Amino acid sequence: MDNKETEKREFKDYSEALKLTACNAVLKDGLSLTYVAKKYGIRSRNTIKNWIYSLGLDSNYKPSKLNTRHSESFKKEVCHQVANGRMTKEQAMRHYGLRSATNITYWMKKYNISILEDTYEEPIASMKFRKVTSDTEKIRKENKLLKQELEDALLRSEVNAMIIELASKQLGIDIRKKFNTKQ
């Protein structure tokens, strides 16, 4: 899912008094759901809508469906439209009333793009793929570590050269060894 790590939402317990105050601000005072949510530090406007409905204050504020389930055939059809270039993910999202284009990306990975070309093939053996991925990841980590060690060694070498040069100046003698000299 587009490199977005799943984050745990913080669910707050709101007092009954706050719930009623927020609901009345929307219903009686005519304030917008968004404004009231911001004013009272409520997570979202849908939370207030759900309170209004669940407290029986106004049946017109029905809670929105959060987890819409789609059939396998629907998901495949959407993926087929996108894969064949008939729609972009964003266009398909709007056309089919989906919440996010990320769903389409997930479905396309889940069903393997070759499904969309009417030649279904089993996905790559997951263990084999994982091994290649883990080997590649190990190499990347090792490469990063080696680069860091090289950088540290170069820095140490540079510091040592500065120390030798400074000592040579202070002592007035050439400290550096001359290689290939006979003793």
What is the torsion angle, in degrees rounded to the nearest 10, for the CA atoms of residue 43, residue 48, residue 49 and residue 55?
140
Cα radius of gyration rounded to whole Å, the chain: 32
d(CA 18, CA 21): 5
Q: Where are the domains of the chain?
A: 1-66, 72-117, 124-173
Q: How buried is residue 157: exposed, middle or buried, by Cβ count under 10 Å (0-12/13-18/19+)?
A: exposed
12 closest CA partner among 39, 40, 43:
43
**183 residues of the chain, pLDDT tens digit each:** 444 444 444 556 788 899 999 999 999 998 988 899 999 998 888 888 888 888 888 877 776 666 678 888 888 888 888 888 888 888 888 777 777 788 888 888 888 854 444 444 455 555 556 666 778 888 888 999 999 999 999 999 999 889 888 888 888 887 776 555 555
Q: Are 23 and 52 in contact (CB under 8 A)?
A: yes
**One-letter identity of residue 97:** G
